[in-house]
Structure 1
């Protein structure tokens, strides 16, 4: 977010240097710049936001000048952000989160699950917060993100029902295997696969909610009872053609 903010500030500097006919640009040039170079030491009375804008001159020089961050004679925040970001490795599951129309809450939980950052009991034990390791939903194995999605009998029952509703014949397997399969689905454009990605996120979210219910309130709903809720949340965000598929 800080890099994106810097890119946005750079756009304001672009306006000061390339759009001097704008009212606020004319005001800044008249009362502060007065024909001086932008790398001048500015008076202490100048407002903090304006100082930040003018001090970003060095940042533009560091990325290679305006030519590097402009497209067709216009400033590009995207190009500026990419220059500030530098080289980076794209996570393979980005399509699951970025191209998913599921609810924001479910996408956040999905994002945490993909990074293995959910506070499952295996991690809590490692942090010495608890000594209990059993999965709260099935109570048969040690809880981890890999177990919770979908090695646990509870979560497997939920996911199998979802797969059946989408007319897939496969059964729930390990989280890594399901993730690899979902990644292939994100490259497909049909309504069935768009729904699958939405269901995946909503399913993770619902399972996590029931897991927390069991941990904190010692109760949870049956798998068959939470599937309608998952379908409802997906239906609320689905397109008309996706609704038609869900009704078939």
Structure 2
């Protein structure tokens, strides 16, 4: 292996590093996450949601923590990543509002398929879609945590209004590539 790391009779640290690390193809979903229009905290929660590493109640139970597994948002089903994103009626309501606002197909109801759709390209709407999806996942998780730890509840409309403000502010403030967005698309009521 080390003999492959020699270039022009000199040892190359870069070649050695590249040969030691595993190289995996970058999935289109991860490309969608690493857009500049998504806030870093939204990226982190989105990445954890995709990898199913958010501390949902089903994951806590598998780690040996004894709790009653019940969704904090709908209070009906067991809480898991698949339920939160977007089988839960509360989260599905937020997703429906986002789909109407951004004008993406309403048949898409899973987080992975939303990100896959986005990664295929939507032209000038790409920053709006990636920022909207990132903000949506963050908003669902933040509302879940507010209900779980602070005993505070907000309506779907209140959370969506905040989400819409965040997305609009990010797209207006983030840079020259977002100036090309149709301003009417951003501010659709």
The structural deviation recorded for 1:214 is: 0.6
Contact 2:124 2:180 in 1 (8 A): yes
Q: Quick check: 163-172 or 137-146, which moved more?
A: 163-172
The structural deviation recorded for 1:189 is: 4.6
CA deviations 1:104-135 (Å, max 9, x no partner) are 00000000011100000011122222321010
Match of 2:139 in 1: 206
Q: Distance in 2 between matches of 1:186 and 1:155?
A: 22
Q: Distance in 2 between matches of 1:211 and 1:234?
A: 20
Q: Quick check: 204-213 or 120-129, which moved more?
A: 120-129
Q: Distance in 2 between matches of 1:170 and 1:68?
A: 59
CA deviations 1:132-165 (Å, max 9, x no partner) are 1010110110000000010001111111101101
Bigger relative contact order, structure 1 or 2, given CA contacts below 8 A and separation 6+? 2
CA gap 1:101/1:148 in 2 versus in 1, 3 angstroms: same
Q: Distance in 2 between matches of 1:202 and 1:212?
A: 15
What 5-or-longer segments of structure 2 have no aligned partner? 172-177
Contact 1:186 1:194 in 2 (8 A): no
Contact 1:150 1:172 in 2 (8 A): no
Given candidates 118, 123, 127, the residue that maps to 1:190 is 123
Match of 1:16 in 2: none
Match of 2:5 in 1: 64
What 5-or-longer segments of structure 1 have no aligned partner? 1-58, 70-74
- Cα RMSD after superposing both structures: 2.8
Match of 2:83 in 1: 147
Q: TM-score, normalised by structure 1?
A: 0.64
The structural deviation recorded for 1:80 is: 6.6
The structural deviation recorded for 1:68 is: 11
The structural deviation recorded for 1:198 is: 1.4
Contact 1:156 1:172 in 2 (8 A): no
The structural deviation recorded for 1:99 is: 3.0
Q: Is residue 100 of structure 2 the alignment partner of residue 164 of structure 1?
A: yes
Larger Rg: 1
CA deviations 1:195-235 (Å, max 9, x no partner) are 11211111001110110011111222111111122122222
Given candidates 113, 129, 135, the residue that maps to 1:180 is 113
Given candidates 17, 26, 32, the residue that maps to 1:90 is 26
